[in-house]
Amino acid sequence: MDCLFLPAESGARLDATTEAYWLPREGSGAWLPLGDCTAQAAAPVTLVLPAEACSYFAVNLPTRKARWISQALAYAVEELLAENVDELHLTHGEALADGRRRVIAIRRQTLADWLADLDALGLNIVAIHVDADLLPREDTQLLFIGERALLGGSPEARLAFASAQWPQLAAQCPPPVHARGSLAEPPAPLDDYQQLDDPYRFLAAGRSAALDLAQGDFAVRAAGEGLGRWKPLFVVIGLVLLVQLGFNLAQAWYLERQAEQYAEASR
C-alpha cells in the first residue's frame, strides 16, 4: 500500500503545495508536493503522522472488555494531560509487560483538518499511524533520518528529537539499543547500527504491529462501506416489502377463489 509521511513541521492545514514524503508500494520514495502525490496515488493510502504532533503514554485501565475500554480511557488519561481530554482523539493499543495499555493522543481538530484536506485533494486514507510507533516492538529502537531521529521499541516512550541529542538521551533508555538510519556515522552509544538506503521503507514495514489511529470517530470505512450504517434500515425495508408481497399474493388468491364461487352461484 502507498504511504504518505507528513513532515514534522506540518501546519494546521494542508494544501497541494505542502511537501510530504511519498512512498509508493513499489519503487523509491521522494519528497513531493501533495498535489503530485495525488497524481501518483492509484489506490488507498496509509497516512503516517510525525511524532511531534502526538503525545504518548501508558495507563492502567479498570477493565479488559473492549466495549468499556474506550469509556474508561478518557478518565484514565485525564490527569496526565494539560489539555481538555474532550479535545483529544485517544487511540489505545496493546498492553505492555506491566499490564498498562499503550495510548496515543492527538488534537481532534488537527487530525480532522488534515484528513479533510487530504480528502479534498483526492487521497483515499484508509489507515493512520505515527512514524515513531512504526519501529519494531523489541527492546529500544532508534532510527536516524538525517538530522531527525525517532525513538520507539518495547518501552512506552515515542519520541522525535535532533539526532545530535542522542548522547544526552541514551542514559534514559533501557538497553539493548538497536539503531538504524541514513547516517554514515551515528552518535554513540549504540549496541548495534545498520545503515539504510531508505529509512521510510523500513518504517512502512512496521505497519502491521503499529497502532492505527483510525478508531472511533476517525474510523476509516473501506470503499463500498459508505452505506454500511444504512444496512439495518435496508433490512427492515426488505422485510416490509416481503410481507407486503405475501399479503398481496394471499389477497389475490382469496379474491380469485371468491370470484369462482360467485361465478358458480351465477351458473
202 is a domain residue: yes
The pLDDT value given to residue 250? 83
Query: What is the model's pTM?
Result: 0.79
For the chain, the DSSP string reads -EEEEPPTT--SS--TT-EEEEE-SSS--EEEEHHHHHHH--S-EEEEE-GGG-EEEEE--S---HHHHHHHHHHHHGGG-SS-GGGEEEEEEEE-TTS-EEEEEEEHHHHHHHHHHHHHTT--EEEEEEGGGGS-SSSEEEEEETTEEEEEESSS--EEEEGGGHHHHGGGSPSPEEEEES-SSPPSP-SEEEE-S-HHHHHHTTTTTSPP---GGGPPPPTT-TTGGGHHHHHHHHHHHHHHHHHHHHHHHHHHHHHHHHHHHH-
The pLDDT value given to residue 229? 53
The pLDDT value given to residue 81? 77
Please check whether residues 26 and 147 belong to one and the same domain: yes
The pLDDT value given to residue 216? 81
Please check whether residues 242 and 209 belong to one and the same domain: no
The pLDDT value given to residue 197? 92
Please check whether residues 185 and 78 belong to one and the same domain: yes
Q: What's the structural domain count of the chain?
A: 2
The pLDDT value given to residue 74? 79
Structural domain boundaries enclosing 145: 2-218
223 is a domain residue: no
Please check whether residues 32 and 129 belong to one and the same domain: yes
Please check whether residues 200 and 240 belong to one and the same domain: no
The pLDDT value given to residue 144? 97
Please check whether residues 150 and 253 belong to one and the same domain: no
123 is a domain residue: yes
The pLDDT value given to residue 65? 66
Q: Tell me the per-residue pLDDT of 201-230, one tens digit each, with 9 for 90 and over.
A: 999 999 999 999 998 888 865 433 444 555
For the chain, which residues score pLDDT lower than 70?
63-68, 220-232
The pLDDT value given to residue 43? 83
Please check whether residues 179 and 247 belong to one and the same domain: no
Please check whether residues 206 and 249 belong to one and the same domain: no
Question: The CATH number of the domain where 110 resides is what?
Answer: 3.30.420.380
